[in-house]
Each structure stands twice: as C-alpha cells, then as structure tokens.
Amino acid sequence: MNNPLKQPKIHLPKDALAKIDIGQSFAEYDLIRNIPAAFVKTPAINAALDSSHSKCFFVGRRGTGKTAITYYLATKQKTAVLLTPQIFDIIHLPCGLSEFVDTRQRPFKSLVCCFQRALQDEVVAKWIAINHFKFNNRTPVLNKERNLIENFDFDFRMMKLVEDIFDALNKPNEKEWLRQINRTKEIEVEMSKLRNNVPWDFKILIDRIDESWNGSDEAVILLMALMRACIQTIASFSSFRPLLFLRENIFERVRQIDNEFARLETAVVSLDWSKEQLLELIERRLNLPFYSKLPLGGATWDYFFESIPGQSSRSLVFDYCQDRPRDILTYCSFAIGAAQSHKHEIIKIEDIQEAKRRFSDSRLKDLGDEYSENYPQIQLILNRFYGLGNEFTVCGIDAFIKKLLIDKEIQQYCATWIYKYTPPDRLGQNHLHHLL
C-alpha cells in the first residue's frame, strides 16, 4: 500500500546546471517574466491587483520590480493598460516656475486638470477599442471630446490640453479657463453614468517615467501634477484606477519641491522584498527547465549552490546584494555562468567569489547612474570606496570625508552637493548609506 505522506524522490539529470538560465535582471528584456511558474507574488503586486486599494504610487529603487509588476498586470488583466508618458522633457510650462510651486494656485491646478482629463480620455479610447462604447446623442460631453479621444495619443493630448488651458489663463479669459476646469468633472459624471459593470473598470499603469526624464525642476512640477491627478481620480472616480510606478530618487525630487508632500506620502506602496521572497524568486527560476521540481524554501538553492561549514552561500549572495531582486538575479546569473564555464555540477563557493568582482563593477556603474540626478558625478565618490571594508565606525567615516574634501576631482565635480554632507551623520542619511 502506498504511503500518501511519502514524498517522491526527485531525480534531476547529471548535467542539470548546464540547462539553467535564470533570465534577464531587467524586466523589459526578460522573457521568463511571461512564465507564470517563475512569478513571485509580493505585497506590492497584491496592492496593485486590489481594486479597492487606495494607494497608487509604487516607489522603489532601480531593480525592485516596478516594471515587472506592470508586465504582470498587463498580462493577467485585459483591463490593465500600460502607459509610458514622454512629455516630461517635451512640455514647457508657459509661466515661470515660481508660479507653480504653490499647489493651491491656478497654474498648478490647471496642470492637474490636464492630466486628469488626458487620463479620462485614455480610458474612453479603451472602451471604444473593446466595443463598450460608441459616441451617440446620449453622450454630449464625450462627443465634444471626440477629437482628443480618437485622434490623439496621451502625450499629444496633454500638449493640446496644456496649450488650451494656459491660453485661457494667460489672456486672461476667466470664462474659458473655468469651462476647461469644469470639463473634467463633466466627463467624470458622464463616464460614471455609462459604466455598466466591473469589466468597464480599467487600471492605467504609468511606468518608465525616467525614459523621458531630463531632471529639470519643470519636469518635477509636471510629475507633481500627475501625482495629484492620480490621487484625485482614485478619491472621486470608479471607472478607472491610475497606478504610478516611480524610482525612489525621482520621488525624492518631488519631496524637495512639493509644499504638500504629506498628501502624497500617504498613497505610497513600498517595493521592499523579504529574504523569503527573494529566495523564492531564484528557486522558481532554477526549477523552470525540469519536469520534476525541487521544493521551494531552501531545498532548491541547497541543491544547486555549495555551502561549506561556517560559510553559507545564500548569505554570501543575499547580504552582499542588500536584498534587491535585480542584484540577486544579476549576481546569481554571473555565478551560474562561472560554474558552467568551469563545468561544475553545482555552483561552488569559488564560482560565487569569481562572480563577485564582475557583479561589483556592474553595481558600481548602476549606482552612479541611479543617483547622478540627485548627486551629480557621484560615481567619483563611489569609486573611492573601492578596496575598503563593508562596515565603518563614525571616526572612519569622518576620516573618509576629510579625504574626499581635499580631493581635487571631488572639489571640481561634486562641489554642488558634497559640502552638505560633511558631518558623518549626514553622509549616512543620504543614499551613500547603501554602500556602507
């Protein structure tokens, strides 16, 4: 009689490691992301899936899974639409920047209105595409909007709306400006009347802001207006839910300028990963080529990665990568490549150590790119960390800072910000803490 509690013995081929390919660490190039068995559900994904969730800003550093979530939602839900705006370095504000700093005044309110209306029109365009809606005599407000809906994409629509509303504001033409402002509310009311059931409800996934990001204060103002439009839409509208995916350093730029930033912070979902989720991410990908799957939770890792007494291969990788999924994938991919090149049956500690230098070089460049907007030429300072330890005393940091301040290259290229972080505690508060 068979014992139902007995687990079947798993036999993987002798050359199992040679078949392993854990995919690309950049979601936009990663074909494995489309395989359901490789996907790890995180709290951030669950928040994005939950239509009743009020938070709409998904903020994380590079490589924490923002783009992966948008691909997952776009694949799983027919009513999820991916939007990658290109207007942040195209639209030029028609007033001086000082006019937009106060979020309660007309110039900023006008920008918010334009973003709301452009998003509304995007949803109506999707309704038309799936035959939910046709223009008729029962939709007079949307009939007036027909040209913007049918003949413009999101970016061109925004450019047209900004041009029209600021033309009325600057003339000034009070009646026309007020009509433009009220149009957003009228569209909302008419869309709510048209909505029949849940299949009408869309998610607008706004991602890859950095692709059109020039780092200017003007771009930050535009982003602030988009963020306000997302919050206001979720608070008052049932037909769609905009979700905005942002890099942490760009979000920090908004913090520096926005006079009501606290309103935005309450709508943030963090993209942090636990060690258990990171382990599952790697183990699912290691298991993909095989019909017989090893158990998750550590067994798969232990099968493929060597550990020796007093030295855990998992801690070597995870601790060094500081629990960031893209880094874990990159490091593991380099280690697997090293093991395959040496024809090892498993990934040995020596393969992990060999991959460490290659990973470090890659990570150094990535960090420089990530924070160069907030801290120009930061890569010069990151290079000075090469060869130093992983932990520093306060005295050690103080001595390190003093060396930086007399470095001619640092003085020349980093003078705009480095002197703000000369106290050891200030250096620890900025994004350099990821290296310490």
pLDDT for 429 equals: 47
pLDDT for 147 equals: 96
- Yes or no: say if 57 and 246 are a contact pair by the CB < 8 Å rule: yes
pLDDT digits (tens, 9 = 90+) for 19-47: 898 988 777 777 777 787 888 989 999 99
> Is 4 a residue whose pLDDT tops 60?
no
Per DSSP, the three-state class of 432 is helix
- Yes or no: say if 275 and 239 are a contact pair by the CB < 8 Å rule: no
pLDDT for 380 equals: 78
Give the whole-angstrom CA distance, residue 337 versus residue 22. 10
Least Cα distance to 206 among 293, 92, 80 occurs for 80
Q: Which H or E run includes 216?
A: none
pLDDT for 436 equals: 39
Give the whole-angstrom CA distance, residue 14 versus residue 122. 53
And the tokens for 308?
């020796």
Strands 240-247, 268-270: pairing kind: unpaired
| Average pLDDT value for residue range 210-227 | 91
Q: Picking from 3-12, 236-245, 355-364, 366-375, which range would have the lowest pLDDT averaged per residue?
A: 3-12
> Is 388 a residue whose pLDDT tops 70?
no
- Yes or no: say if 151 and 187 are a contact pair by the CB < 8 Å rule: no
Half-sphere exposure of residue 69: CA atoms within 13 angstroms, side-chain side: 31
pLDDT digits (tens, 9 = 90+) for 100-139: 988 989 999 999 999 999 999 999 999 999 999 999 988 9
